[in-house]
Homo-oligomer: A and B are copies of this chain.
Amino acid sequence: MGAVERRARQREEVRSQIVDAARDIVVNEGYHALTMRRIAEAVEYSPAAIYQYFQNRDAIAVAVTSEGFVQLLHAFAPSRSLDNPRARLEAIARAYVDFGLTNPQTYRLMFMEDPEITRALLAQPDRNDPGTQAYLAIVEPIALLAQQGAIDARDDASVRAIADTLWVTVHGIVSLKLTCPTFPETPVDVLIASAMRTFFEGILKR
């Protein structure tokens, strides 16, 4: 038999063609340029045909964004292999900012464009999704530092509070630089250096 299998495979193939086309449009022209007709043209279908593969445009945007979280986790990989937890944490933070600035449109989709899109990918209780994995990559070195007594964090909530503090900092750098690259006149490398220095001076016991 296998005909039903092949159909399922072809379906998946078209689905990923659609997502690929959507990603190209978003990356090159921004989310506002992501229209069903543009996608349909790229994959050589009629606009209506797309609805056989995705419920609506939002679902396609979510699929593109989902890939973004995978990419982010991927961008963390080299940093995660560093032995020293402090160096590891700083490298991850810098990789985060780097990812956001080199993938502005994807980052906007992940964290700025539409709360519904972000919620669809981060609000799930599943702890195995790439977004949560990326978050845990930040938590891990902090938990280790706390365990080593290098920072003050009695319980799990305190560790997460520090992780979230770092997260909002790096997210703030990316987010602000993406919306107004010129106004905070401090160059991004100086800004991140200042933020890293302040953060570690702030949390490390001495």
Contact = CB atoms under 8 A, between A and B. Distances in A.
Interface stretch (A73-81, A82-90, A155-163): A155-163
Nearest to A167: B184
A115 B112 CA distance: 11
Interface stretch (A5-13, A17-25, A41-49, A197-205): A197-205
A201 B195 CA distance: 12
Query: Chain A interface secondary structure, helix, strand, loop or mixed?
Result: helix
A172 interface: yes
A171 B176 contact: yes
Interface string A128-162: 00010001000000000000000000000100111
A3 interface: no
Given A111-B179, A180-B122, A186 B161 contact: yes
A60 to B, nearest CB: 17
Contacts of A160: 185-186
Given A201-B202, A202-B199, A203-B198, A164 B186 contact: yes
A122 B195 CA distance: 22
A190 interface: yes
Contact of A161 (B111, B179, B191): B191
Interface string A43-60: 000000000000000000
A33 interface: no
A176 B167 contact: yes
Contacts of A123: 180, 182-183
A161 B176 contact: no
Contacts of A71: none
Contact of A112 (B164, B179, B201, B202): B179
Nearest to A111: B179
